[in-house]
C-alpha cells in the first residue's frame, strides 16, 4: 500500500484526547484544518513524553530569548475530539523539532512498523512512495503551549495512583505488592 503523508501547516487545532473510561482509555493525537481531520492512536506514555519534551523545548527557547515563544496560549480547549474519529494508524515514533527560520514547532508522528524492519525504513524521504505513514504538524509556539497544557490534563485525568505502590487504582481496588497482596 502506498505511503500516506498528512501535513497540517498550520492546523486549526492540534490536541491530545481520549476515548473510553479511565483505565480503558485509548489515546489519540488529532489535527484539524478546515474540514480535514486526522486522528492517530498512541500510548499514554507517548502523550506524556511529547508534552514534557515540547514544554522543555518551549522553555529553553524562552530562556534563550526567542521572541516567538512569548505571548498567549492558544488552542487550550477542553472540547472533545472532533468527529468523525477514525484511527488512521497507530504511532510508533514521534519526532519533535524547532524550525528557527519559520519559528514553528514541528511534530512528526510515524506509523508503527512491523518488528524486524531495519533502521533504513526510519530514514524515509517525503518523496518516497514506500515507508511508514506520517503526520506532520507545524505549530506556532502559542498553539504548542496549548497542546502541552491540555496533554498534561489528559494524562493526569486517569485513575488515581495507589498511595502505597503508585500503580493505578481500579474502582474495585487492586492487589498491592506493598501491602503483601491485600486489596487496596
**What CATH number is associated with residue 151?**
3.30.2450
- Beta-carbon contacts of residue 132 (< 8 Å; ≥ 6 apart): 3, 89, 92, 110, 111, 112, 113, 121, 124
Contact 137, 11 (CB under 8 A): yes
pLDDT score at 59: 92
**Cα–Cα distance measured from residue 77 to residue 15, given in angstroms and rounded to the nearest whole number:** 9
Inside any domain, residue 99: yes
Write out the residue range of the structural domain in which residue 16 sits. Answer: 5-179
CB 9 within 8 A of CB 146: no
Average pLDDT score over residue span 134-149: 94
The pLDDT confidence band at residue 112, using thresholds 50, 70 and 90, is: very high
Domain assignment present for 151: yes
168 occurs within a structural domain: yes
DSSP the chain: ----EEEESS-SEEEEEEESSTTS-EEEEEEEETTEEEEEEE-HHHHHHHHHHHHHHHHHHHHTT-GGG-S---S---PPPPSS--EEEEEEEEEEEEETTTTEEEEEEEEPPPTT--GGGGS--TT-SSS--EEEEEE-HHHHHHHHHHHHHHHHTSPPBPTTT-PBPPTT--B-GGGTT-B-
Q: Is 176 left (phi over 0), alpha (psi -120 to 50) or beta?
A: beta
Query: Residue 163's pLDDT is what?
Result: 76
Res. 71: pLDDT tops 70: no
Q: Is residue 64 part of a domain?
A: yes
Is the pTM higher than 0.85?
no
For the residues 45-61, what does the mean pLDDT come to? 96
Considering all CA atoms of the chain, what is the largest pairwise distance in Å, rounded to the nearest integer? 57
184 located within any domain? no
Total of domains in the chain: 1
Amino acid at each position: 500500500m502506498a505511503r500516506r503523508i498528512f501535513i497540517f501547516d498550520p492546523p486549526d487545532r492540534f490536541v491530545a484526547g481520549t476515548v473510553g473510561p479511565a483505565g480503558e482509555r485509548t489515546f489519540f493525537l488529532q489535527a484539524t484544518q478546515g474540514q480535514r481531520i486526522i486522528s492517530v492512536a498512541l500510548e499514554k506514555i507517548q502523550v506524556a513524553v511529547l508534552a514534557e519534551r515540547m514544554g522543555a523545548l518551549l522553555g529553553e527557547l524562552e530562556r534563550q530569548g526567542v521572541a516567538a515563544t512569548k505571548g498567549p496560549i492558544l488552542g487550550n480547549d477542553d472540547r472533545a475530539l472532533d468527529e468523525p474519529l477514525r484511527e488512521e494508524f497507530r504511532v510508533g515514533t514521534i519526532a519533535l523539532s524547532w524550525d528557527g527560520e519559520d519559528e514553528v514547532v514541528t511534530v512528526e508522528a510515524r506509523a508503527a512498523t512491523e518488528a524486524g524492519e531495519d533502521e533504513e525504513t526510519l530514514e524515509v524521504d517525503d518523496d518516497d512512495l514506500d515507508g511508514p505513514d506520517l503526520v506532520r504538524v507545524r505549530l506556532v509556539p502559542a498553539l504548542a503551549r496549548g497542546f502541552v497544557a491540555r496533554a498534561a490534563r489528559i494524562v493526569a485525568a486517569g485513575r488515581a495512583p495507589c498511595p502505597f505502590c503508585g500503580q493505578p487504582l481500579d474502582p474495585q481496588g487492586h492487589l498491592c505488592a506493598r501491602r503483601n497482596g491485600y486489596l487496596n
